[in-house]
Amino acid sequence: MLVRRRSELGYTQEHVAEKCNISARQYQAWEKGDCLPTLPHAIQLAIVLDFSLDSLKKEVNLDAVSLPRD
């Protein structure tokens, strides 16, 4: 889902990582599902990729993180 949305927007992994104030390696781990973003990073990621937090929560499987409702 992250890869698809990033590609739809024409963004590189490096661009998204920079906008989220993280390393490209960290963002790559999110795309692979190796780890989950923290709540502040999830919020920033939703903004950068123009997703609602609910959509991001479902797609990235953030069930362990309590996100505020849209």
**Domains (range + CATH), the chain:** 2-60 (1.10.260.40)
Half-sphere exposure of 55 (CA within 13 A, CB side): 10
Better-predicted residue by pLDDT, 58 or 7: 7
Residue 63 pLDDT: 55
Residue 62 pLDDT: 60
Residue 25 pLDDT: 98
The burial class, CB within 10 Å (0-12 / 13-18 / 19+), for 16 is: buried
List pLDDT tens digits, range 10-56.
Answer: 999 999 999 999 999 999 999 998 988 888 998 999 999 998 878 77
> 33 in the Ramachandran plot: left (φ > 0), alpha (ψ -120 to 50) or beta?
left
pTM of the complete model: 0.79
> What is the band of 69 on the pLDDT scale with cuts at 50, 70, 90?
low
